[in-house]
């Protein structure tokens, strides 16, 4: 028995959120991608989806100037939908399974030099200075994603054990140590927070006493960079990349960094070894006497 595409998509997205515990960001992206597929080929029975139809959709996206990353995500969303459809008996096979995604460009994660991260921690006139310092210190000092930082609750912090309980992608839990300097800033913030009447479980609160959002943290970070004279290209993810790169440069084992970042695959973490080698090459070319070509 086959069902229409829109009905299959609705059930797939519900399974993603409720069973596979995908993030709201992933569910939103997949919903948008699969809606575009329906707009391209119509709300047909899912059993009628053809390999040619999938390839034509990908080619149309390429013609619209979509990036390889976006096209690969589109294909991933469709593959997941058709996998579930096949398992549910709505179609006989996954026609997207043999289609290769476009080749991804090899891009190294961008980082901030240590002096820039230090500058971000200079005092400002912010009315929420203790909160901002604690938040940015946690993001950089513990290597958290912005979604993980704003998702922290008060009971996720062990001040006695100097540890954070973090819920990453897929609600996967990990324990992250808190450096001494970050502990000090968190305690300052908690002392100030205790004077408010907020009953919210969230650790980091906005001015109305509710949980901060990822978008508001991005804006706060840009504002702080402007006020402290830091690099204006800073983003929450650049802080996380900087955390990993600075640990690697300090001699920390790659598998330890993988655990701290919550990466499912070591291959993801290995990008930082390429980054470190690129930096070493840059230093070598600029400083080593035999690196310069003779004219």
- Residues that are catalytic: 145, 169, 237, 240, 263, 272
Q: How far apart are CA 79 and CA 94, in angstroms?
A: 7
Three-state DSSP at 157 gives strand
Q: How far apart are CA 202 and CA 217, in angstroms?
A: 14
Bridge partners of 4, per DSSP, are 45
Residue 112: how many other CB atoms lie within 10 Å: 24
* Residue closest to 153 by CA, chosen among 170, 140, 165: 165
Residue 184: how many other CB atoms lie within 10 Å: 14
DSSP string, 73-115: HHHHHHHHHHHHHHHTTSSSS-TTTTPPPPPPP--PPP---HH
Q: What angle do CA 22, 214, 174 make, to 5 degrees?
A: 55
């Amino acid at each position: 028995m086959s069902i229409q595409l829109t009905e299959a998509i609705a059930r797939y997205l519900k399974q993603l959120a409720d069973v596979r515990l995908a993030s709201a960001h992933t569910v939103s992206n997949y919903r948008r991608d699969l809606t575009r597929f329906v707009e391209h080929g119509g709300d047909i029975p899912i059993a009628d989806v053809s390999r040619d139809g999938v390839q034509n959709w990908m080619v149309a996206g390429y013609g619209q100037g979509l990036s390889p990353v976006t096209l690969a995500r589109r294909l991933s969303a469709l593959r997941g939908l058709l996998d579930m459809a096949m398992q549910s008996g709505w179609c006989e096979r996954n026609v997207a399974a043999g289609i290769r995604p476009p080749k991804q460009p090899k891009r190294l994660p961008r980082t901030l030099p240590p002096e820039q991260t230090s500058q971000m921690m200079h005092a400002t006139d912010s009315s929420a200075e203790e909160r901002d310092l604690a938040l940015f210190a946690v993001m950089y000092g513990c290597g958290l994603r912005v979604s993980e930082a704003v998702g922290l609750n008060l009971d996720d912090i062990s001040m006695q054990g100097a540890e954070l309980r973090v819920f990453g992608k897929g609600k996967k839990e990990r324990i992250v140590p808190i450096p001494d300097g970050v502990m000090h800033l968190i305690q300052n913030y908690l002392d100030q927070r205790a004077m408010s009447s907020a009953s919210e479980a969230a650790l980091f609160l906005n001015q109305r006493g509710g949980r901060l959002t990822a978008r508001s943290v991005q804006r706060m970070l840009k504002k702080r960079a402007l006020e402290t004279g830091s690099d204006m290209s800073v983003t929450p993810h650049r802080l996380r990349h900087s955390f990993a790169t600075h640990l690697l440069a300090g001699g920390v084992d790659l598998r330890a960094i993988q655990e701290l970042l919550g990466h499912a695959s070591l291959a993801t973490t290995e990008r930082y070894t390429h980054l470190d080698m690129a930096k070493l090459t840059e230093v070598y070319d600029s400083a080593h006497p035999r690196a310069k070509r003779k004219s």
